[in-house]
């Protein structure tokens, strides 16, 4: 073209833009990419991508997703909000070849983060950092780096969280996400993937007093760290199982290494009973789903057990307890009475 160009990249194209900027910055005048989060060494693929990267699971998904007739696939796309003429053209290309291409693409990038984008592995943490620092930056493009904890507010307000449970159908307000779109997002504050409801985004844009529920982050409750091995950045779950002479365990939510919420449970494996003793969330993190997430994690750790929860003191705690479908008391566990461990 004879002169440096302006590059704009979205999704996978955003990674290609960064690759060009890293390898031939002399060809670029300005650049925009919406996927800089995948450079984070702690980046983790969204749930659907992880399915595609899993042998057999990925094959089963693409068969279900791209199987059937073109008319059936077009109808599914139309139900998700795509115009019927466009849906018919897209559905015509959704065949077994596309399924194989999807699996090959996502499995070729199963290791995300800095190495996954093709930086020199030997330069990671050394010259690689300096290479990123030399990227041409325009006024519209924030520099890579800066505080990673969000201490300066650069990552925006805290988002609500919910346990990850497949592709969501409804948003936190109960709107059906297939009608007007549900872009997948990434919270740098939490280092978690999320979902944005376009309907709620418009509602909140019109009325600043509306509670911010349009976007929320998905926390994989199956990933729980021991206290000494928990990451110091992002939102993570930490499990403290009962000790050898104790029936009481703890589950914590930590944000950038600080405890923001915790649940205490007392269990007896002999009686198969559990008491949710206490759920505590720091004042600045309430009404975001932290408490319900802690309860969901506790329940998942002890399936098939009988659960009870005492009535707490204080208005906030009582309001939260009122949403839990557990009885307040149960027959006393004999193992707790005599001090033995079940």
Q: Where are the domains of the chain?
A: 35-128, 161-219, 224-337
Nearest to 294 by CA among 221, 240, 217: 221
Instruction: Give the model's pLDDT for residue 124.
Output: 40
How many CA atoms within 13 Å lie on the side-chain side of 94? Answer: 23
Using an 8 Å Cβ cutoff, are 116 and 105 in contact?
no
Rg (CA), the chain: 24
In terms of residues, how long is the chain? 342
Instruction: Give the model's pLDDT for residue 209.
Output: 83
Instruction: Give the model's pLDDT for residue 133.
Output: 41
**276 three-class SS:** strand
How many CA atoms within 13 Å lie on the side-chain side of 145? Answer: 11
Instruction: Give the model's pLDDT for residue 8.
Output: 93
Tokens of 174: 């109960």
Torsional class of 272: left (φ above 0), alpha (ψ -120 to 50), beta (otherwise): left
**Model confidence, pTM:** 0.53
What spatial distance separates the first Cα and last Cα of the chain, rounded to whole Å?
Answer: 75
Instruction: Give the model's pLDDT for residue 328.
Output: 66
- Can you say how many angstroms the Cα of residue 124 is from the centroid of all Cα atoms in its chain? 25
Q: Which are the contacts of 276, defined by CB distance < 8 A and separation ≥ 6?
A: 263, 264, 265, 295, 298, 307, 308, 309, 324, 326
Q: What is the DSSP letter of 144?
A: S
Using an 8 Å Cβ cutoff, are 114 and 131 in contact?
no
Tokens of 280: 């505590």
Give the relative orientation of helices 57-66 and 96-108 as an angle to the nearest 10 degrees: 140
Instruction: Give the model's pLDDT for residue 125.
Output: 42
Using an 8 Å Cβ cutoff, are 84 and 102 in contact?
no
Nearest to 291 by CA among 260, 255, 265, 313: 260
What does the angle CA 311 – CA 313 – CA 318 come to, to the nearest 5 degrees? 65
* Below-50 pLDDT ranges, the chain: 114-135, 137-154, 339-342
Instruction: Give the model's pLDDT for residue 51.
Output: 86
- Residue for token digits 């497949």? 166
Instruction: Give the model's pLDDT for residue 180.
Output: 64
**Topology (CATH) of 224-337:** Aminopeptidase (3.40.630)
Query: DSSP labels for 146-213?
Result: S-SS-TTSTT-SPPPEEE--SS-SB-TTS-BHHHH---EEEETTTTEEEEE-HHHHHHHHH-TTS---
């Amino acid at each position: 073209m004879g002169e440096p160009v302006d590059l704009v990249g979205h999704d996978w194209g955003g990674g290609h833009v960064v690759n060009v900027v890293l390898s031939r910055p002399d060809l670029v005048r300005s650049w925009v990419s919406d996927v800089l989060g995948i450079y984070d060494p702690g980046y983790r693929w969204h749930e659907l991508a992880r399915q595609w990267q899993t042998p057999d699971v990925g094959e089963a998904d693409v068969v279900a997703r791209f199987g059937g007739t073109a008319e059936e696939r077009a109808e599914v796309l139309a139900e998700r909000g795509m115009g019927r003429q466009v849906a018919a053209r897209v559905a015509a290309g959704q065949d077994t070849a596309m399924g194989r291409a999807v699996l090959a693409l996502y499995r070729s990038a199963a290791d995300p983060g800095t190495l996954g984008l093709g930086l020199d592995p030997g330069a990671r943490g050394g010259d690689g950092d300096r290479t990123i620092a030399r990227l041409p930056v325009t006024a519209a493009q924030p520099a890579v780096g800066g505080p990673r904890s969000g201490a300066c507010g650069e990552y925006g307000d805290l988002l609500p969280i919910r346990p990850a449970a497949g592709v969501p159908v409804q948003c936190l307000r109960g709107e059906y996400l297939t009608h007007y779109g549900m872009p997948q997002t990434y919270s740098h504050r939490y280092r978690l993937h999320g979902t944005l409801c376009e309907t709620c985004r418009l509602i909140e844009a019109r009325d600043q007093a509306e509670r911010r529920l349009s976007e929320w982050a998905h926390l994989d409750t199956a990933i729980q760290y021991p206290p000494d091995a928990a990451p110091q950045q992002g939102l993570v779950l930490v499990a403290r199982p009962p000790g050898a002479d104790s029936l009481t365990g703890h589950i914590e939510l930590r944000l950038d290494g600080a405890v923001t919420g915790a649940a205490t449970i007392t269990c007896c494996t002999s009686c198969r009973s559990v008491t949710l003793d206490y759920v505590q969330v720091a004042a600045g993190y309430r009404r975001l789903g932290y408490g319900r997430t802690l309860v969901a994690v506790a329940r998942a750790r002890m399936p098939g057990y009988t659960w009870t929860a005492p009535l707490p003191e204080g208005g906030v705690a009582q309001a939260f307890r009122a949403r839990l479908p557990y009885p307040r008391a149960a027959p006393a566990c004999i193992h707790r009475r005599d001090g033995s461990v079940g």
